Structure 1
Amino acid sequence: MSDLPVLAVDDLRVAIHGREIVHGVSFEVPDGGCLGVVGESGSGKSLTVLSATGLLDVPGAHVSGSSVLATPDEGPTEVVGASARTLRSVLGRRVGFVFQDPGTSLNPLLTLERQLTEGPEAHLGMTRRASRRHALDLLEAVGVPDPEDRLHAYPHQLSGGQRQRVMIAVALACNPDLLIADEPTTALDVTTQAQVIDLVRSMQADRGMAVVWISHDLGVIGQVADEVTVLRQGEAVEQAPVLDVFDRPQHDYTRLLLGSRPVLGSPRPAPEAPPEPLLSVDDLHVTFTQRAETGTRRILAVRGVSFDVAAGTTLGIVGESGSGKSTVAGVLTRQVAPDRGSVSLDGTDVLAASGAAGRELKRRIAMVFQDPYAALNPRSTVARSVSEPLRVHKIAEGSERDRRVRELLELVELPADFVERYPHQLSGGQRQRVCIARALACDPSVLILDESTASLDVSIQARILDLLLRLQEDLGLTYLFIAHDLAVVERISHDVLVMHRGRAVEHRPAADLFEDPQDDYTRTLLEAVPPLRPRAAAGSSPG
């Protein structure tokens, strides 16, 4: 290891069209170490790191200050103000990048082999045969199964976790001295997240490279980082070793982030007198047909799932991607037709209802989706989005409709003057509140929340959860809360249904399930949750 930091950033400032967004940030990344950069959306995390590594490409952007990349083989290179030729020699060869969404980072038109061999051939001068051997070694190193076969695959033929492993392999292809990991686990299931964290840590140890890990989740940062820089509105408000940040936070914002983390160990108390079931699902089977090179194949997405949800309570449905969670929600909202099974709401058959009865049932089951950005029409005002169900079901018109929209905004704690705003004028949390208001427009009995807090920052997520708990108490709502974050599920759920490969492997009261899980898969999910204390705290106690 070298005594010089791999990356030394001093008084970095970034302005876009004359407006300064990053304000004099300084930090160092030691050789072989990991710096965690943490903060909420809009804090300037990615902008700071991309500017420091020469990858910022925004019209009207101006970067000042200093960012020196120094490695034993290459010597120091000033990145700020560097020529395009210098940046080409740095990016990919000396600095590797892993971004949040491998689905958009990988080229959908190129095979994995071409994407893995492109960098070594261009930067390291490898022959086609040598680069192919190198690609196989990389796929094997990052744990992609059947690497020889996968070389000919395209990104869409891999799972999300496998795509992220390939993205890490691409980033490591030129043996970089510094790896930038920008929210690499945010979109992943908790078990896949744990695997990617372990993978990056092992790659870091094996290759002796430095890592900058960007995240809004202090739980993840605690598992990877040695040092932490906390950013807020483009300023570094706290910089300290990871253990000090967790045990002795100095800034109010750091304490806010720590206090907002969902952690295991706070189960929701069970209702004093369990009410009668409002929603009943019995022996649900769903099959999808998928095209393959050899013809078509049938995929059994949901296999004999049954459960009851009592009125005014929350059933948490947890499991990894592909477990069948959202398929169950699709059946309940009549977007997916099951092969067999029944669904009843308050004694009425949901799947067989038609005409006026069918329309009434559609009003009584509403849904809030994961991504509020995609769920709202960017060309519609808040008033139009919230009032859409009222227009579709012809519930209210004119001034009565306007009154109901204002009432719904007040219910989700948004100002009445938001009615004229568009989605791009709202924060992520405000958009999700608008989505909740729209879902409540027709006074539903059941609200299905499909990963509805997964894309939010931790402090915003905490406020949305508080809102949902209050709405349930005030309105007597029944929730199906679909998620892969068990700490969030524990906080909001009375009962929990664990799904794995289409089956319900465990269904028990939340307090009992988290205290004493019975199924191996449930235990695996719980073990993958980032612990309350950072990795560096192993064998130590708070000072």
Structure 2
Amino acid sequence: MRNPMLSVRDLTITIGPGGKRIVDALNFDLASGDMIAIVGESGSGKTMAARSILGLLPQPLVTAPDSQILFKGSDITRVEPKALRKIRGAEIGMVFQEPMVSLNPAVTIGEQMAEGLRLHHKLGKAEIRDRSLAMLERIRIKEPGKCLAAYPHEFSGGMRQRIMLASVMLLKPRLLIADEPTTALDTLVQRDVLDLMVELTQANGTAVLLISHDLGMVSHYIPDVIVMSEGKAIESGPSSEVLRAPKHDYTRRLLDALPRRSAGGTRGGDCGRPVVEVRNVVIDYPGRNRLFSRTEAKRAVHGVDLTVRSGETLALVGASGSGKTTLGRAIVGLVRPTSGQIALLDAEGRRPAERRERHREMQIVFQDPYSSLDPRQRIADIIAEPLKLDRSMNAAARAKRVEEVFSEVGLSPDFGRRFPHQLSGGQRQRVAIARAIVGRPAFVVADEPVSALDMTVQKQILLLIRELQARHNFACLFVSHDLGAVEQVADRIAVMQDGRIVEIGERDDVIDRPQHPYTRQLLEAAMLIDRRFAENDPPKQAMAL
């Protein structure tokens, strides 16, 4: 390797002086213009290792006295806070996982972009504005002048991440630390943000340290990789070697957790009777009143037709803003359609007469389980809540059903006394699934159920969904932008673009023989590690947490 610009030597991070090790003797070098990724599960220590470079460790975490972080030959673990502030931003930039958290919602984009230039380069207002406009044009922001005057909430997640990247690269740092920069973004926007990151860093000779759990993305973009587990680097080397021929058992387990295509077009033969029928559904969002005007109404869904059968998983895929989540919410009654019909059918093809019965038969699993679970309720009470719609069940019957569902989703009944904040992300998602199936519904919407989870937990949740569906035979609408997850769970796939279904068919036909250009575009943007899917790959027992 050329003379390293960043050298990390025996980096150890503990909980308090001499406490438990979060990062244990990590070593790596990074030269100017090079890119390296640190990958691992949640809790492996990868983010804390990255934050320590900028001195951003949360209390009570501390860097051990014998650790060294050499940046351009100087150990930045021993510099004074005032000197470190001159390095942050100007020399080392960082892009965080959630731009809405790292961008100030009360300050315009222009003011936030100008802050670093004022602090580190002492430029005048006119030059700051010119540089900001030039950078926004470079990242292909339409109407950059209006963007400078706008606020973060006025942009999509992908646009916010591009703006965050532009703000950091405006200072031309020598090192860019990107912490899960594309986790919450859809496939097309992920590719756009990563292409932009590579373009900007190569133009400035900036080194990149990427933190991620997305092995597919790393294999496509990053030449070298470090695999971390429980604070230790257990394998490192070129990505093409480590991710295609791993030597360590842990790395092999990470790769094995990547979604696999299940055997055949459907699981266990033909699906059953129609459960949900959607006919010519249109959904409009009304315009908002302003002081002297009203914004135009937006049509989110344009005349969609769908049928979902018992025991079937229909995957609804598309980019952010395509209308897929709006349609899923409309089916379960959380959004009112402007026109069209949504019918829930019983075994005789009739619609349930009572609204209460319809609600009991249709449930939803939300993308973020933490925000969808009441933080003041205990887990057992959260899961039991849908059972209140069933007047035939008394308290004892509800308690028994809740205990049965704990077992079905792989959780101990002891979890019933806990609160949501006391559970991990994967455990909270199991609780959300338990709440959805506890009433034995006929239809479940799973809205991006694994997008915020790392690979091994994703595998567990996807296997769990398949196992529960095989047991209870409910129909499922699986809303996702993750084509890897879709390949594993779907019987059929419907592709949405701008509120319209542009392609629908059996999973293998859509994935292997796409007909619509937009479907081909989604598949080309999917960053999946090349692998052969097992010809016979029955679902395994989901691991309990």
Tell me the TM-score normalized by structure 2: 0.92
Distance in 2 of aligned mates of 1:296 and 1:425: 43
| Deviation at residue 69 of structure 1 after TM alignment | 4.2
Q: 1:307 to 1:478 in 2, by over 3 A?
A: same
Moved more, 269-278 or 441-450: 269-278
1:128 equivalent to 2:128? Answer no
- Describe the superposition over 1:466-512 as per-residue Cα deviations: whole angstroms up to 9, x where unpaired: 11111111111111000001121121111111111111111111111
Q: Secondary structure at the match of 2:471?
A: helix
1:423 equivalent to 2:420? Answer yes
Q: 1:305 to 1:100 in 2, by over 3 A?
A: same
Q: Structure 2: 5+ residue runs without aligned partners?
A: 532-545
Instruction: State the partner residue of 2:539.
Output: none
Instruction: State the partner residue of 1:272.
Output: 269
Instruction: State the partner residue of 1:49.
Output: 50
Distance in 2 of aligned mates of 1:339 and 1:121: 50
| Deviation at residue 291 of structure 1 after TM alignment | 2.3
| Deviation at residue 348 of structure 1 after TM alignment | 10
Verify the 8 A CA contact 1:499 1:505 in the aligned structure 2. Answer: yes
| Deviation at residue 44 of structure 1 after TM alignment | 0.9
Moved more, 513-522 or 177-186: 513-522
Instruction: State the partner residue of 2:34.
Output: 33
1:174 equivalent to 2:175? Answer no
Distance in 1 of aligned mates of 2:352 and 2:59: 53
Query: Which amino acid in the other structure matches residue 184 of structure 1?
Result: P
| Deviation at residue 464 of structure 1 after TM alignment | 1.0
Distance in 2 of aligned mates of 1:394 and 1:239: 58
Moved more, 138-147 or 392-401: 392-401
Query: Which amino acid in the other structure matches residue 165 of structure 1?
Result: R
Moved more, 336-345 or 409-418: 409-418
Q: 1:350 to 1:134 in 2, by over 3 A?
A: farther
Instruction: State the partner residue of 1:375.
Output: 372
1:399 equivalent to 2:396? Answer yes
| Deviation at residue 414 of structure 1 after TM alignment | 1.4
Query: Which amino acid in the other structure matches residue 444 of structure 2?
Result: L
Distance in 2 of aligned mates of 1:267 and 1:39: 31
Query: Which amino acid in the other structure matches residue 448 of structure 1?
Result: V
Q: Secondary structure at the match of 1:261?
A: coil
Verify the 8 A CA contact 1:266 1:491 in the aligned structure 2. Answer: no
Distance in 2 of aligned mates of 1:264 and 1:385: 33
Verify the 8 A CA contact 1:389 1:441 in the aligned structure 2. Answer: yes
Q: 1:378 to 1:125 in 2, by over 3 A?
A: same
Verify the 8 A CA contact 1:65 1:80 in the aligned structure 2. Answer: no
TM alignment of 1:287-326, pairs within 5 A? 287-291=284-288, 294-326=293-325
Verify the 8 A CA contact 1:343 1:351 in the aligned structure 2. Answer: no
Q: Secondary structure at the match of 1:297?
A: coil
| Deviation at residue 398 of structure 1 after TM alignment | 3.2
Q: Secondary structure at the match of 1:186?
A: coil
Q: Percent identity?
A: 38
| Deviation at residue 240 of structure 1 after TM alignment | 1.3
Query: Which amino acid in the other structure matches residue 162 of structure 1?
Result: M
| Deviation at residue 154 of structure 1 after TM alignment | 1.2
Verify the 8 A CA contact 1:343 1:349 in the aligned structure 2. Answer: no
Instruction: State the partner residue of 1:250.
Output: 247
Q: Secondary structure at the match of 1:6?
A: strand
| Deviation at residue 108 of structure 1 after TM alignment | 1.1
Match 1:207 to one of 192, 204, 209: 204
| Deviation at residue 360 of structure 1 after TM alignment | 0.5
| Deviation at residue 419 of structure 1 after TM alignment | 1.8
Instruction: State the partner residue of 1:164.
Output: 161
1:219 equivalent to 2:219? Answer no
| Deviation at residue 351 of structure 1 after TM alignment | 13
Moved more, 273-282 or 511-520: 273-282
Distance in 1 of aligned mates of 2:304 and 2:40: 40
Instruction: State the partner residue of 1:100.
Output: 97
Instruction: State the partner residue of 1:13.
Output: 12
Tell me the TM-score normalized by structure 1: 0.92
TM alignment of 1:436-475, pairs within 5 A? 436-475=433-472
Verify the 8 A CA contact 2:325 2:479 in the aligned structure 1. Answer: yes
- Describe the superposition over 1:65-99 as per-residue Cα deviations: whole angstroms up to 9, x where unpaired: 4343434xxxx221213211111011000011111
Verify the 8 A CA contact 2:259 2:487 in the aligned structure 1. Answer: no
Verify the 8 A CA contact 2:254 2:456 in the aligned structure 1. Answer: yes
Verify the 8 A CA contact 2:271 2:311 in the aligned structure 1. Answer: no
Match 2:237 to one of 217, 240, 249: 240
- How many residues in Structure 1 have an aligned counterpart in Structure 2? 527
Q: Secondary structure at the match of 2:172?
A: coil
| Deviation at residue 425 of structure 1 after TM alignment | 2.6
Query: Which amino acid in the other structure matches residue 344 of structure 1?
Result: A
Instruction: State the partner residue of 1:183.
Output: 180
1:79 equivalent to 2:64? Answer no
Verify the 8 A CA contact 1:14 1:64 in the aligned structure 2. Answer: no
Verify the 8 A CA contact 2:345 2:351 in the aligned structure 1. Answer: no
Query: Which amino acid in the other structure matches residue 7 of structure 1?
Result: L
Q: Secondary structure at the match of 2:428?
A: helix
| Deviation at residue 533 of structure 1 after TM alignment | 4.7
Verify the 8 A CA contact 2:117 2:128 in the aligned structure 1. Answer: yes
Verify the 8 A CA contact 2:217 2:528 in the aligned structure 1. Answer: no
Q: 1:498 to 1:301 in 2, by over 3 A?
A: same
Q: Secondary structure at the match of 1:507?
A: strand
Distance in 2 of aligned mates of 1:192 and 1:201: 14
| Deviation at residue 55 of structure 1 after TM alignment | 2.1
Q: 1:422 to 1:38 in 2, by over 3 A?
A: same
- Describe the superposition over 1:434-458 as per-residue Cα deviations: whole angstroms up to 9, x where unpaired: 1111111111011110001111111
- Describe the superposition over 1:304-354 as per-residue Cα deviations: whole angstroms up to 9, x where unpaired: 000111211111001111111111112111111111100111169999976
Q: Secondary structure at the match of 1:295?
A: coil
Instruction: State the partner residue of 2:149.
Output: 152
Instruction: State the partner residue of 2:542.
Output: none
1:91 equivalent to 2:88? Answer yes
- Describe the superposition over 1:388-439 as per-residue Cα deviations: whole angstroms up to 9, x where unpaired: 2223544533332221111011111212222222223322211111111111
Q: Secondary structure at the match of 1:527?
A: helix
Distance in 1 of aligned mates of 2:132 and 2:67: 35
Distance in 1 of aligned mates of 2:467 and 2:362: 19
Verify the 8 A CA contact 1:112 1:151 in the aligned structure 2. Answer: yes
Q: Secondary structure at the match of 1:367?
A: strand
Instruction: State the partner residue of 2:381.
Output: 384
TM alignment of 1:49-68, pairs within 5 A? 49-59=50-60, 61-68=62-69
Distance in 2 of aligned mates of 1:22 and 1:395: 54
Query: Which amino acid in the other structure matches residue 24 of structure 1?
Result: A
1:260 equivalent to 2:257? Answer yes
Query: Which amino acid in the other structure matches residue 418 of structure 1?
Result: F
CA RMSD of aligned residues (A): 2.2
Q: Structure 1: 5+ residue runs without aligned partners?
A: 535-543
